[in-house]
Structure 1
Amino acid sequence: MGQDHLSRSANGGAGRQRPDRSAAPAAEAAPAGQAELRRRRWRSRLETLARQAQALPVRRDDLDVAVAGISDPDVGDAGLLAALREAVMARLGGYGTPETALAAALDELPKGPAGEASLEVVGHCASFVAEAFALPAPEAAAFARRAAEAERRRRSERRSAARAARETRAEEERRLKAWEASLIGAGAVPELLGCTRAEAERWIRTGRLPVARRVAVRKGGSTVRELQFDPATLETLRGSLPEWRNIDAGSPSPAVREARAEPRGASNSAVARVAGLDRYAAHFVTARALNRRIIACLGPTNSGKTYFGLTRLAEAESGLALGPLRLLAHEYREALEARGVPTALSTGEERILAPGSRHTAATVEMCPFRTPVDVAVIDEAQMLADPERGPAWTAAIMGVPARTVIVLGAPDAAPMIQRIATLCGDPVEEVRLERMGPLVAAPDPVPLDDIGRGDAVIAFSRREVFELRAALLRRGRSVAVVYGALGPTVRRAEARRFREGEAEVLVATDAIGMGLNIGPLRRVVFSALSKWDGQQDRPLTVQEIKQIGGRAGRFGGAHAEGTVAVLKGGGDPAAIAHALAAGPVAPGDLRPPVAPDAEIIAAVAAEIGTESLFGTLRRIERAVLRRDDPNYRLGDLSTQIAIAAAVDGVRELSLLDRWTYAMCPADERDEGVERLADWAVEHALGRAVAPPRAGHLPPPARASQEALQLAERVHRRLVAWRWMALRFPEVYRDIDGALAESRRLNEWIEAVLATRPSGRVLVVPGGVVGEAGGALQGHSRRRQFGQRARAAQQP
């Protein structure tokens, strides 16, 4: 069907011949309303035609470009499809080479029932790409044949790897379930060992009989912890029973101690012992060998914590600055360089060397654990409470090899920092800082019309950021935006626009709570006092209101007093006043979260006798830390387990290579796990993995919302690619191409965000945001904003 439609378009449009423009004067003379109605009708029809033309790799912005180029009011399907073909060809030409364009085109093809286009459609699409690059007929035919064959081979390799991964996952789950099914309760131990119940209880209590696992069981309306034992392990201890009966329980002989050793892979306790996460502080040998002291510098936002830490760091002969974002690592480096301290940079996807430097600014996950320094500064310590990234802060605070460890954070983090210091045996000194300027809660909600210069409006989704931006642009405000999907370079550029007065208003997500230098704020205005956290719509916490709202005001600046408010219709201002007046709120669980590293992964895999990364992580998840461990809790490993399940079938890669893939920052909403699995297959086969590319992008002034989202998605993919390139440079080779594409996307996104639209409509998935008037439409979750916007316009 795809080729038929391509052929019909060729007949109607004479190959690449442009559609007939002879009726342009008549179209120009038509009333604007009729012309707009025609464009909408053409676009709707093109959507249908594009779905039918299965071999045509169409994006939504291609439809807009095609419609904008049609002037004949009586254009038919052939002319519409010819215009669309031309738009797609022009875009594909922007990829530079047919091979790069084809890779992008295959991603954009409609998926069939099996989740992928047929090989026939792939061949037709390759022919279309060849036509876009004007390849001669013989060369075009060869290109299409090679493309279909390469895609057939790639799919075969992917299916093979996926099948192996499924088989491995099933086998590991089967092994784990079989082992768990073999366990016996404490009541069965006397019969198995031929001992009395009292002896069994004593030997369990003194640790001679190792507990395989503890399970929660409902008994009599309450939950109790029941001990379970591995009968195979107990059988190996049978010969020790006579000696146990004849010695003092508190002074076991060497033979008894040896008897307590468990066979490899026999029980969860053996796995836990090898992993050693219940003795996590001891894992950091270099740090434990130093005479460390911890200084916890705690205070609210705008209290001078960062200045305190960087001043001490600049005075040291050597040191580290560790923060949560690549963007902040850059800011630390620039601050130290401004003080005359040469500083290197180390983030997940970037390295900047500074010859002769003894200072490094880095993201917290890049903390070096073997090179001692004089001072280390670790920022945003309240992140310890985060289930996913918290383990990186635990590792950094426990393991950074610095004689003086300066931990910066909100006062809420104090109990967890103290707990870590105790576990490490390090003395801790607490320095409390107060906010350097007053922070007040606005007594009344703020109408949207009252948002003006120096205000930051905080939303909780990218969609709402753009809805607010559109509404403020209609009111004549100039707007900068900051949200998580933006790359660090663009975020800094937008913050600079606001800081230097090019933009009157900043609209941002809660990403600005992480210390980005956005300059003085007159007010922080929350769009709502609740947010969707991925599972439920919940009220903002006291800490969130303080952390984000505290960005208002700047000591010694234009806005010494900061104001925190909420948009009209977004919530009760009294909740803000209550939060600002509240004292520190400690996390519900003070145990620091921990996670395995490569060394632990290798040790556990060897202990249980597997090469499966999925099986290793599942066993760690089940076995390594008891849920009631008094000192530590296991961090969230769900993303690593999902990636492990996808790459486990690529057995040509070693266990630790697959672990490296599992640690890569993948966007699961953008098929990031599947993309990593594809890259792993290419890696295993010794083929280079090309960096992602966005291809042709429209002029910034005409960019649709979809084009902007595409650029952001490709930029995030490039972040993952560059992360992998630092670890496997022989496979991820084209670093210059990746950097060039990152720069191009950053510059284009900056230009789009800095462009003030006039009379345009931005199309977003699920709705339309009109920038020149009209109702706001969007996701049902965000219909609340439309109600708030209308309420804000009322007197």
Structure 2
Amino acid sequence: MSNDFDLPSNPAEAAILASGLRVEAREMPQLIRRVLRRLPADADTIRAELVAVRRKFWAKAAMEMASRAGQPWVRRADAEAAAKRLQDPEATPRALRMALDDAVAERLRDVADNAESALEIIAGEQAEEGHPLSGERMAALAQAVAEAHGLSTAATAEFVLRAGRTAERRQQDLRSAEKAAREKRREEVTRLRAWEKSLIGIEGVPKLLHCSEREALRWVGAGLIPVARKIRSAKGGRELWQFDPAEIVPLRRELQAWRAAEQMARPERARAPDQQRPTQIGRAAALAGRGSKEANQAVARAAALDRYAAHFATARAMIRRITIITGPTNSGKSHMALDRLAAAESGMALAPLRLLAHEFREALAARGVQASLATGEERMPVHGSRHLAATVEMCPFHNPVDVALIDEAQLLHDRDRGAAWTAAIMGVPARQVFVLGAPECIPMVKRIAALCGDEVEEISLERKSPLHAASRSIGFGELRAGDALIAFSRRDVMDLREQLVKRGRKVAVVYGALSPEVRRAEAARFRNGEADIVVATDAIGMGLNLPIRRVIFSTLRKFDGEERRELNSQEVKQIGGRAGRFGHHEGGIVAVLAGGGEPGFIQAMMDAPPAPPAELRPQVQPDAEIIAAVAAEIGSDSLFGVLARIQRAVLRKDDPNYRLADMTQALAIASAIDGVAGLSLMDRWTYALCPVDERDNGITRLAQWAVEHGAGRPVRPPLAGRLPPPDRASGEELQRAEKIHKRLVAWRWMALRFAAAYPDFTEAEAETDRLDSWIEDVLRQQRRTKAATRAA
């Protein structure tokens, strides 16, 4: 019995002291609270409560045991399950270890029907989380799996040996690829620096070519002498053109043809050669030099990022008309454009999200037009259809149509995806292009149209139902049916949902980690009255037309990936505009939750005119054609080297027309997979475009897939194994399922591009569907469970 206490201060403490049980000082306050709820309490009751108090410490100790033993596959849920198995408050470390082994063995049995599948799933989880097992640890895991599934001694030995050898081979392949990638990266950095040092200014060109300064200037202006890099001088900001001597010297053999072409182009009473316009000389000289390697280089440069519009040859060959349709949310922009699209003989609708691509397809079907579907991870062709619904990145640039619709054009300014909208608007091969978006998109869309030489028409629509800012904040207890409560992280959404459920409210949730299928199911629950409040992130601001009466911000600040800042006008209008859906409510209200900010801020943001864009130059990024051209020009097979050259030389930072999109993730992926044997440059470029989440070890996972692919081994899809019953699923298990679903999205994206290397597409689709159903069941079942608990 503890001697650290004075006279008991209450009956619970007296009962604990009288029980004769050893109680630590740090345990006493919590134990007293638990015993107070069960008075009168005998020794057995106090003993049970002491065990309950100590389980948290036992779970922590169990995790430490697993860490010391080198068992990263042990989860916190295993440790908690082990702690629950102990009933003796004086349980020894040996008893805890045995309980942990039993809990882990139970999970290893439950995860799959046989040892092979269980090992694949558990080892896959470790790899997916960025911690692939070494040969030694894989063997230890295989031993535990074999014992859990009751394999014989001989079968276990063979199973363990095979698992260890496979893991060691994969680790060796990965280490070799990482080493090769580091060496290649060093070589490319050295090559880039040497190339930059070798460049000369325009004044050095005549000496290398054995021509006059005037001739050099004319031929540079005509595009016959390739410019390696354009930079701004530190003094005066004057533009400096730099040239690669290795490209200039071989041009000497073309001089005679160029000069002859100039003579041919000069009429009898022509002006002096130095007075002629470079464009005239360029046409004649190009004819004389057609077919030469240097002329081909000039053509390749003409299609570089500083002349990006020229990449889209099909669109440039058409006479296009761009109609910009702007207006607030609920103004009928999509309805107007879809009517025009459905009336056309052929067309396409490009959406920012897979969910919206599906909605466009359904909207066309409702108008009597069957459309195919194309997103990054799925294809749904319709035989004979001449209409397509797709995500923006899937825009087909070589298939001319009559009408195209491009939605949410304000995403031209998005840091991560803006370049996709640039490409779509510039390159969509349609005679009539409807560009939909907020008024903020107008200046940049006009800029793109001017670069393409397209005609522009503007249509501005008004909101169909009034929208008002609330004059006061809304208390938590004032939330009612038809409200949408907005947060800006998954954690905040789930916390708010929990608070509402405790108050007896029926709640639907929408956040970015949910698949489109689950989002639609949650939206349907809100729409049909099964849920009366929807708690959502700003993901609700794009698509999901819901019968919302009030949009209530839980906070007026958000973290945008770089900093925590106040919401801007466009965000308040885009999200708040979901209130008062036409046909459901006479008007909408936008408010802030009490304690979340000043109500006057919402009114100010709603009244604010469109903010002038900080940057009018559209973002551009390389495509496969540019990657191949630059690789051939610099004589390198390194994707990292090609991207580094593009970043440093192909498009200068102050180009008047374009700006280079952020290529940080593509460069990081290139660095990780450049050393993988068996993958071509174009294969690696495809990997660099895969949508992965760096915060979830996405690049590491992609590198592991690449190694398997390059070695000719099939890349297995991520699997979740057996899932707990929805009514017993923890928040941790729900989040894990969401992560696996997201990894399956990336796997399916790769499988559509490398079917032979990613062969189990049907299994991946089935696993995706299973996770969708389970996640939706968890969200539904948790509500029922809590309601049942309250009733009891």
TM-score (norm: length of structure 2): 0.85
Question: For residues 28 and 351 of structure 1, do their structure 2 counterparts lie closer, same or farther at Cα, with a shift above 3 Å needed?
Answer: farther
What is the CA–CA distance in structure 1 between the aligned matches of 2:241 and 2:166, rounded to whole Å?
55
Tell me the equivalent position of 2:502: 474
What is the CA–CA distance in structure 2 between the aligned matches of 1:115 and 1:697, rounded to whole Å?
22
Q: Does 1:103 align with 2:129?
A: no
Q: Does 1:213 align with 2:213?
A: no
Is the 8 Å Cα contact of residues 58 and 109 (structure 1) preserved in structure 2? no
* Partner of residue 688 from structure 2, selected from 662, 681, 686: 662
Question: For residues 97 and 279 of structure 1, do their structure 2 counterparts lie closer, same or farther at Cα, with a shift above 3 Å needed?
Answer: farther
- Write the letter of the residue equivalent to 2:582: F
Tell me the equivalent position of 1:326: 354
What is the CA–CA distance in structure 1 between the aligned matches of 2:42 and 2:683, rounded to whole Å?
64
Is the 8 Å Cα contact of residues 251 and 294 (structure 2) preserved in structure 1? no
Alignment of 1:42-53 (within 5 A): 42-53=58-69
**1:112-170, Cα deviation, whole Å (9 max, x unpaired):** 9x976553232111111112222211111101000111111111111111111111111
Q: Does 1:297 align with 2:325?
A: yes
Q: Does 1:721 align with 2:747?
A: yes
Is the 8 Å Cα contact of residues 456 and 506 (structure 1) preserved in structure 2? yes
Alignment of 1:123-202 (within 5 A): 123-185=139-201
Matched residue SS, 1:664: coil
Is the 8 Å Cα contact of residues 233 and 262 (structure 1) preserved in structure 2? no
- After TM superposition, give the deviation of residue 586 of structure 1 in Å: 3.6
Matched residue SS, 1:756: helix
Q: Does 1:311 align with 2:339?
A: yes
Tell me the equivalent position of 2:626: 600
- Write the letter of the residue equivalent to 2:456: V
**1:62-96, Cα deviation, whole Å (9 max, x unpaired):** 23333344444443333333333333233333234
* Partner of residue 399 from structure 2, selected from 341, 355, 371: 371
Q: Does 1:551 align with 2:578?
A: yes
Question: For residues 48 and 675 of structure 1, do their structure 2 counterparts lie closer, same or farther at Cα, with a shift above 3 Å needed?
Answer: same
- After TM superposition, give the deviation of residue 619 of structure 1 in Å: 1.4
Q: Does 1:358 align with 2:386?
A: yes
Tell me the equivalent position of 1:83: 99
Is the 8 Å Cα contact of residues 321 and 362 (structure 1) preserved in structure 2? yes
- After TM superposition, give the deviation of residue 625 of structure 1 in Å: 2.0
Matched residue SS, 1:248: helix
* Partner of residue 424 from structure 1, selected from 443, 452, 458: 452
Tell me the equivalent position of 1:542: 569
Matched residue SS, 2:99: helix
Is the 8 Å Cα contact of residues 27 and 73 (structure 1) preserved in structure 2? no
- After TM superposition, give the deviation of residue 347 of structure 1 in Å: 0.9
Question: For residues 318 and 194 of structure 1, do their structure 2 counterparts lie closer, same or farther at Cα, with a shift above 3 Å needed?
Answer: closer
Q: Does 1:60 align with 2:76?
A: yes
Tell me the equivalent position of 1:344: 372
Tell me the equivalent position of 1:415: 443
Q: Does 1:397 align with 2:425?
A: yes
Tell me the equivalent position of 1:7: none
Is the 8 Å Cα contact of residues 449 and 456 (structure 2) preserved in structure 1? yes
- After TM superposition, give the deviation of residue 489 of structure 1 in Å: 1.0
What is the CA–CA distance in structure 2 between the aligned matches of 1:62 and 1:593, rounded to whole Å?
48
What is the CA–CA distance in structure 1 between the aligned matches of 2:648 and 2:291, rounded to whole Å?
18
- Write the letter of the residue equivalent to 2:163: A
Is the 8 Å Cα contact of residues 54 and 110 (structure 1) preserved in structure 2? no
- After TM superposition, give the deviation of residue 463 of structure 1 in Å: 1.7
Is the 8 Å Cα contact of residues 275 and 604 (structure 1) preserved in structure 2? no
- After TM superposition, give the deviation of residue 399 of structure 1 in Å: 1.8
* Partner of residue 230 from structure 1, selected from 235, 244, 268: 244
Tell me the equivalent position of 1:731: 757
Tell me the equivalent position of 1:680: 706
Is the 8 Å Cα contact of residues 104 and 693 (structure 1) preserved in structure 2? yes
Tell me the equivalent position of 1:709: 735
* Partner of residue 385 from structure 1, selected from 413, 419, 440: 413
Matched residue SS, 1:408: strand
Identical-pair percentage: 56
Question: For residues 370 and 228 of structure 1, do their structure 2 counterparts lie closer, same or farther at Cα, with a shift above 3 Å needed?
Answer: closer
**1:738-759, Cα deviation, whole Å (9 max, x unpaired):** 1111111111111222233699
What is the CA–CA distance in structure 2 between the aligned matches of 1:91 and 1:493, rounded to whole Å?
30
What is the CA–CA distance in structure 2 between the aligned matches of 1:541 and 1:686, rounded to whole Å?
50
- Write the letter of the residue equivalent to 2:422: T
Is the 8 Å Cα contact of residues 211 and 227 (structure 1) preserved in structure 2? yes
Question: For residues 71 and 373 of structure 1, do their structure 2 counterparts lie closer, same or farther at Cα, with a shift above 3 Å needed?
Answer: farther
What is the CA–CA distance in structure 1 between the aligned matches of 2:396 and 2:125, rounded to whole Å?
41
What is the CA–CA distance in structure 2 between the aligned matches of 1:564 and 1:234, rounded to whole Å?
64
- After TM superposition, give the deviation of residue 193 of structure 1 in Å: 7.9
What is the CA–CA distance in structure 2 between the aligned matches of 1:208 and 1:346, rounded to whole Å?
41
- After TM superposition, give the deviation of residue 217 of structure 1 in Å: 4.7
- After TM superposition, give the deviation of residue 356 of structure 1 in Å: 3.0
Name stretches of at least 5 consecutive residues in structure 1 with no aligned partner: 1-24, 761-770, 773-795
Question: For residues 27 and 486 of structure 1, do their structure 2 counterparts lie closer, same or farther at Cα, with a shift above 3 Å needed?
Answer: farther
Q: Does 1:493 align with 2:521?
A: yes
More displaced stretch, 689-698 vs 249-258? 249-258
- After TM superposition, give the deviation of residue 45 of structure 1 in Å: 2.1
What is the CA–CA distance in structure 2 between the aligned matches of 1:397 and 1:512, rounded to whole Å?
25
**1:207-240, Cα deviation, whole Å (9 max, x unpaired):** 7875432334544xx7555444434455556785
Alignment of 1:628-643 (within 5 A): 628-643=654-669
* Partner of residue 767 from structure 2, selected from 741, 759, 778: 741
- Write the letter of the residue equivalent to 2:721: G
What is the CA–CA distance in structure 1 between the aligned matches of 2:44 and 2:517, rounded to whole Å?
42
- After TM superposition, give the deviation of residue 188 of structure 1 in Å: 6.5
Name stretches of at least 5 consecutive residues in structure 2 with no aligned partner: 1-40, 264-271
Question: For residues 228 and 104 of structure 1, do their structure 2 counterparts lie closer, same or farther at Cα, with a shift above 3 Å needed?
Answer: same
Is the 8 Å Cα contact of residues 482 and 509 (structure 1) preserved in structure 2? yes
What is the CA–CA distance in structure 2 between the aligned matches of 1:351 and 1:258, rounded to whole Å?
45
Is the 8 Å Cα contact of residues 233 and 263 (structure 1) preserved in structure 2? no
Question: For residues 394 and 158 of structure 1, do their structure 2 counterparts lie closer, same or farther at Cα, with a shift above 3 Å needed?
Answer: same
**1:642-695, Cα deviation, whole Å (9 max, x unpaired):** 112211112411111111111111111111111111111111222111110112
* Partner of residue 521 from structure 1, selected from 535, 540, 548: 548
Is the 8 Å Cα contact of residues 384 and 592 (structure 1) preserved in structure 2? yes
Question: For residues 404 and 758 of structure 1, do their structure 2 counterparts lie closer, same or farther at Cα, with a shift above 3 Å needed?
Answer: closer
- After TM superposition, give the deviation of residue 413 of structure 1 in Å: 0.9
TM-score (norm: length of structure 1): 0.84
What is the CA–CA distance in structure 1 between the aligned matches of 2:511 and 2:559, rounded to whole Å?
15
What is the CA–CA distance in structure 1 between the aligned matches of 2:722 and 2:401, rounded to whole Å?
47
What is the CA–CA distance in structure 2 between the aligned matches of 1:564 and 1:467, rounded to whole Å?
21
**1:282-306, Cα deviation, whole Å (9 max, x unpaired):** 3222223333222221111111111
Question: For residues 202 and 433 of structure 1, do their structure 2 counterparts lie closer, same or farther at Cα, with a shift above 3 Å needed?
Answer: same
Is the 8 Å Cα contact of residues 95 and 694 (structure 1) preserved in structure 2? no
What is the CA–CA distance in structure 2 between the aligned matches of 1:262 and 1:524, rounded to whole Å?
63
**1:709-768, Cα deviation, whole Å (9 max, x unpaired):** 2111110111111111111111211122111111111111112222336999xxxxxxxx
What is the CA–CA distance in structure 1 between the aligned matches of 2:731 and 2:80, rounded to whole Å?
11
Matched residue SS, 2:122: helix
Q: Does 1:752 align with 2:768?
A: no
* Partner of residue 311 from structure 2, selected from 283, 297, 303: 283
More displaced stretch, 720-729 vs 582-591? 582-591
Structure index of larger Rg: 2
Is the 8 Å Cα contact of residues 271 and 623 (structure 1) preserved in structure 2? no
